[in-house]
Structure 1
Amino acid sequence: MVELEFINAISAIDAATWNAIAGQDYPFTRHEFLQALESSGAVAADKGWQPHHLVARRDEQIVALMPLYIKTHSYGEYVFDWSWADAYQRHGRSYYPKLLAAIPFTPATGPRLCLANDAEREDVMRAIASALPAHARQMGASSVHILFSKPEVSSAWQPLGFMQRSGPQYHWFDRDYGDFDGFLASFSSRKRKTLRKERKAVAEQGLDLQILCGSEISPAQWRFFFHCYQLTYAKRSGHGGYLPEAFFTQLAATMPEHLVLVIASHGDEPVAVALNFRDQHTLYGRYWGCVREYEFLHFETCYYQGIEYCLREGLRHFDPGAQGEHKIQRGFTPIATYSNHWLADADFSAAVAQFLDDEKLHIAKYLRDASAMLPFKQEEA
C-alpha cells in the first residue's frame, strides 16, 4: 500500500535522499534547485507559492516524490488558467487555493512525479491520482494541476481522471548537423542568407560573445547577470523579477555543473547576458537581459550561441523557453507541451473538458501551420 505525506519545506528531506529518487541530471527537480527557491524566499506562502511537496512511501521506504505547491494565484506557471479563475469568480466560487505540481517559474518539460523504481509507475500514479483529489477537497482547494510532464506521462494521467491540455513551444533538435555550418546547410538558400546576415551584423557592431560554465562565472559576472535580469522584468512587467539574487548565487555554489552563461561585450564592457541550464542531453534557455540594445544581439546571445554550444558539447536538444514565434524561422521546431488538470466542481470540470477538447484541435492546427514556417529545405521541413 502506498502512503502519502505532504511536507511544507524541501529541507524536511535531506538532499542525498531526495536526489536518489529525483536524480541529479535534470536540474529543476534537484534538491539544490528547489532548496534555493525556498531559502532565497522566491517561493513561500506569502508569495502565493506554499511548498507542499508530496512524498509517497511503501513499507516505510520512499517510492516517489513530487514537487507540489499550494497556489493562491496563477503567476509564474506558463500554463494560463486565468480564464478559469475568472469563471469561478463570476459564479461566486473560489478558484484559489489550488494544488500545483510544477517547477516554479520554469516552463521546461521534465519529470514531475519522480520514482525510485520506474516499474512501479502505474501503481504509484494510481494511488496518487486517488489521494491528491481527496487531499485537495479536504484542504478546500479547487483543483490539482500537473504542468509540463513528458508526453507519455501526461497521457498516463488521463485515464486516472486528470484532463490533458496541450500548448506550443519551439525547440531545437540536432539532426546530426555536426557543426553550425552543417545546421545552416539544412536551410533553404534565402533563409540561410538571412541568418548569416544577422550574425554578421552582430560582429560588425563590435560585439564579442563568450560562454562561461559553472565555476568559470565570476561574482562580478553574476552581479551583471542579475542586474540585466531585473532590467528585463522591469521592462516587461514593471517589477524586478520573481527571483532574488540569493537564488542565483546559491545555485552557483551548489550546482554549478548545470549553469551556462553567455555574455556579450562591447569592448571591455558587458552589455548583454543569457543564463542557460543544462543536463546530459538538453540545454535550457532561461533568462536574458541587456543594458543596451543592439540589432540581432538577442538572437545571437539566446539562440545561436546556444545552438553552437549544443553542437560542440554533444547536446541533442535545446529548449529555449516559452513563447516566441520568431524562433521558428531560426530553426526551432514547433512542438506540443502537456499538462494535466483535475477540478473538484463537476460542472466546471465538464465545461473545462469541452474547452480543452476544442483547444486541442486549435493547437494541433496551429502546430501544423507553424511547422510550414520552418526555414529548412522543403524535403526536410
Structure 2
Amino acid sequence: MASSEISLEAVSSVSQVPADAWDACANPPPGSSALNELDTPASSDLTNHSRNESEESYNPFVSHAFFSALEASGSACSRTGWAPRHLIARLDGGIAGIVPCYLKSHSQGEYVFDRGWASAYERAGGSYYPKLQASVPFTPATGPRLLIRNGVDAELIGGALAAGLAALCEAAEASSVHVTFARRQEWKFLAKNGFLQRTDQQFHWHNQGYEGFEDFLATLNSRHRKAIRRERREAVVNGITIHALSGSEITEDAWDSFFAFYMETGSRKWGRPYLTRAFFSLIGQTMAKDILLVMAQRGGRWIAGAINFIGSDALFGRNWGAIEHHPFLHFEVCYYQAIDFAIGRGLKRVEAGAQGEHKIARGYLPQTTYSAHYIVDPDLRRAVHDYLRRERQYVAEAVRELTSAGPFRKDADEPS
C-alpha cells in the first residue's frame, strides 16, 4: 500500500460517476469485505462498522439510482440550495471511496437541526452559509456515509475521505461539514478525525421472528393490543381498502395520486415540499423493486398513501399524504402495513422516519441516531462542543425513559 497513490476530487453531479463504480462503494456485494478483514486494534472502528451493522446490507438510499433521481429531477440541485459536491477518493486511479455531499445555502430538508447554531454564529458576525452536508437529501434514514468499496484498506480510504471533507470545506469557504444519519462506527471514526459528535433519536420497530401480525400483538400489554386492533378496524370503515403496490404494480396513475397527497400534506407541514413529480417517475423506472407504495382507496379513487423503500434487512418509511382524512388511516397506512410487510418479507426492522413519540404506542421504540460535525471557527466549535455534550446526555436519558414506557408486556403471564 505504500506505493499506492490516493487522490481526491469533488464532482458537481452524481452523473459524473459511473453507476457501477458508485454502487460498488455504496452497496458492496455480499461476501468478503476489506472492512471485515481488518483485525488490528487501530482499525477496529471501521471493522466493527461492517461486522455489527448488517454486514454491508443493501441500503437503497445510497444507490446511484436514488441520487440520480434526486438530482436529475431538480429536487436536489443548486436552485433548491442542494448543490452536489460529491467527494471521490481514487486509489491508483480507480474509485475507492465516496462521500455523498452537498453545498448548502440553508438548513432545510436535513432533519438534524442546526438553525440555532447558524443564528448564533451570524449574530456574532460570522457567515454560517454555505455549509457542506454529507447526507442523503430529504431522507432521515441511517446508512453508510463513508462509502468504501471492497478490497481496499478501509482505514486508509476512510481517513482520506475525512481529511478530504475538511479540505473541501476550506476550498468552498464553508463554515462547517455535517455528516448526518451516519452509522455508529462511522460516527466514532469521524470523531477521531476531528469531528464533533451528536446524537438524536428515532422510533424503529424490530422483528422478533414473528410469523404474523398477531404474534407481534401478543407481545404487547392488553391495553395497547386492544387499541391497535380497534385502530386497524376503524381505519378501513366507509368502504376504504388498502393496497400494497410494488414493482410493475406502481403505475403513473398511482404516482400522480401519491404526488397529490405528498404536495397537500407537505405544503401544510413545510410550506414547500422538496421532491418534484419527476422524482417519483424516475425512481419508478429505476428502483421499482425497492419501493413499497401503500395506497388507500375509497369509492374507486386513491385517497391516501405512504412510500417505503425496501432494504435487504429493513423497510424505510418515508413520505405520507392524504386528500381525505379518516380516523386512524395514517397509522394503518404508515405503521401497521409496514409491520405486516416486514414480517412477511422477514425484514429485521421498520424505520418509520423522523420524530413522533406517538409511534411508541404502535410498537416502535427509541433508537439513537448519529451525526458528526466539523466546524472551522474555533469559538463556534467550542460552543457547539459544550452544547453537544449536554445534548448527548439528554438524548441518552430520553431513550432510556421512552423505552421503559413502551407498550410491551412486562408480565410474561399476562393473557393475550
Shorter-chain TM-score above 0.5: yes
Q: Distance in 1 between matches of 2:257 and 2:351?
A: 24
Q: Which residue of 2 aligns with 1:349?
A: 381
- Deviation of residue 264 (structure 1)? 0.9
Among 22, 28, 34, the alignment partner of 2:26 is 22
8 Å Cα contact 2:148-2:158 kept in structure 1: no
Q: Which residue of 2 aligns with 1:10?
A: 14
* Correspondence 1:281-300 to 2 at 5 A: 281-300=313-332
Please identify, of 13-22 and 212-221, the stretch whose mean Cα deviation from structure 2 is larger: 13-22
Q: Distance in 1 between matches of 2:151 and 2:361?
A: 38
1:366 aligns to 2:370 (yes or no): no
8 Å Cα contact 1:162-1:341 kept in structure 2: yes
8 Å Cα contact 2:236-2:329 kept in structure 1: no
- Deviation of residue 117 (structure 1)? 2.5
Superposed CA offset, 1:244-281 (max 9, x none): 10001011001111110111112322211111111111
- Deviation of residue 221 (structure 1)? 0.8
Superposed CA offset, 1:40-80 (max 9, x none): 11111121111010110111121101111111111000000
- Deviation of residue 214 (structure 1)? 1.8
Q: Distance in 2 between matches of 1:131 and 1:21?
A: 17
Same amino acid, percent of matched pairs: 42
**Counterpart residue type for residue 340 of structure 1:** A
The alignment's TM-score, normalised by the length of structure 2, stands at 0.89
1:114 aligns to 2:147 (yes or no): yes
The alignment's TM-score, normalised by the length of structure 1, stands at 0.97
- Deviation of residue 206 (structure 1)? 2.6
* Correspondence 1:28-47 to 2 at 5 A: 28-47=61-80
Among 242, 254, 271, the alignment partner of 2:303 is 271
Relative to structure 1, is the Cα distance of residues 374 and 119 closer, same or farther in structure 2, using a 3 angstrom cutoff? farther
8 Å Cα contact 1:172-1:317 kept in structure 2: yes
1:204 is paired with a residue of what secondary structure?
A: coil
Q: Which residue of 2 aligns with 1:65?
A: 98
For this pair of structures, how many residues does the alignment match? 379
- Deviation of residue 373 (structure 1)? 2.0
Superposed CA offset, 1:89-137 (max 9, x none): 1001100111111000000000111111276221122222223213312
* Correspondence 1:320-359 to 2 at 5 A: 320-359=352-391
8 Å Cα contact 1:151-1:338 kept in structure 2: yes
**Counterpart residue type for residue 206 of structure 1:** G
Q: Which residue of 1 aligns with 2:281?
A: 249
Q: Distance in 2 between matches of 1:236 and 1:62?
A: 40
8 Å Cα contact 2:89-2:160 kept in structure 1: no
1:378 is paired with a residue of what secondary structure?
A: coil
In structure 1, stretches of 5+ residues that fail to align are none
8 Å Cα contact 2:96-2:148 kept in structure 1: yes
Q: Distance in 2 between matches of 1:104 and 1:83?
A: 20
8 Å Cα contact 1:334-1:367 kept in structure 2: yes
Q: Which residue of 2 aligns with 1:168?
A: 201
Superposed CA offset, 1:196-250 (max 9, x none): 11111123333211101021111111100001000011221333x1111000101
8 Å Cα contact 1:329-1:373 kept in structure 2: no
Relative to structure 1, is the Cα distance of residues 43 and 204 closer, same or farther in structure 2, using a 3 angstrom cutoff? closer
8 Å Cα contact 2:87-2:161 kept in structure 1: no
- Deviation of residue 20 (structure 1)? 2.1
- Deviation of residue 147 (structure 1)? 0.7
**Counterpart residue type for residue 169 of structure 2:** A
In structure 2, stretches of 5+ residues that fail to align are 29-57
1:286 is paired with a residue of what secondary structure?
A: strand
Please identify, of 357-366 and 134-143, the stretch whose mean Cα deviation from structure 2 is larger: 134-143
Please identify, of 198-207 and 98-107, the stretch whose mean Cα deviation from structure 2 is larger: 198-207
